Structures are given as structure tokens and as C-alpha cells.
Amino acid sequence: MLLNRWPNETPNGGCDVNVEYELQNRNFVLKDVQIMVPLSDSGQIPVIGKFDGDYQFDNRKTTLIWTLPVVDQTNSEGALEFTILGKSVDFFPIQVDFIAETSYCDIK
């Protein structure tokens, strides 16, 4: 799965962030995908724009958790867009967790 993140800092101290995924190997089926994006410590709740799947804001960890039940050939790409106060460096590192039905390296 290819994951891209594009932050765009705005003149008012905010940042428009676009996170996209693309399943490059269409033979994989990924389940219970969680993409965790760290946020700035501004105390602000992110304003969500477009999104696929579902999301939740973990205020304690200042993290936006984007969840997708299944990523497969029928759901091979998607996006999450949000706005929040902060700088582009605030949104690293992104953590991705999932369960795969097959081994990535085809190890038996």
C-alpha cells in the first residue's frame, strides 16, 4: 500500500492536510486498516473535509485515526482531508496497522 501525505500551510497558521492511500498490489486484501496521523499540540480538533472509511480524533494522544474495514481491489484507493492549526512537520510520522490475508513475501 502506497501512502502519501500532503500538508499545505496557510497564512493564518493552519494547515490543510491531504492523506491518500493506493493499494498497488491488487492481489492483497488488507483488513482493519488504521492510519494514525499525529497532530499538533494546538488543542484544536481537526476540521474534516472529504474522507473514505471512518475516522476518530484521539484527544489524549493528539492523533487522528483513519479506519478502513477492508482495502482490496474494489476499494484500492481513498483519501482523508482535514484542516487544523499547525506546521507541516507536525504530521509525522504516520503509523499504519492492518491485517493481511496473505504474506507480503509469500513465505510459507
User: How far is residue 11's CA from residue 29's CA, in Å, rounded to a whole number?
Assistant: 41
pLDDT given for residue 105 in this prediction = 72
- Dihedral Cα 27, 65, 15, 93, nearest 10 deg: -70
pLDDT lower than 70: segments of the chain: 106-108
- Residue 108: what pLDDT? 64
The fold for domain 2-100 equals: Immunoglobulin-like (2.60.40)
Give dist(CA 33, CA 53) in Å, integer: 10
| pLDDT at residue 7, as a whole number | 95
Query: Tell me, what's the pLDDT at 60?
Result: 92
**Residue 43, pLDDT score:** 82
Q: Per-domain residue ranges for the chain?
A: 2-100
AA letter at 83: T
Distance CA 3, CA 82 (A): 16
Q: How far apart are CA 96 and CA 31, in angstroms?
A: 12
Please report the pLDDT score of residue 71 as a whole number.
97
Residue 41: the pLDDT is 87
Q: What pairing do the DSSP bridges indicate for beta strands 54-58 and 63-71? A: antiparallel
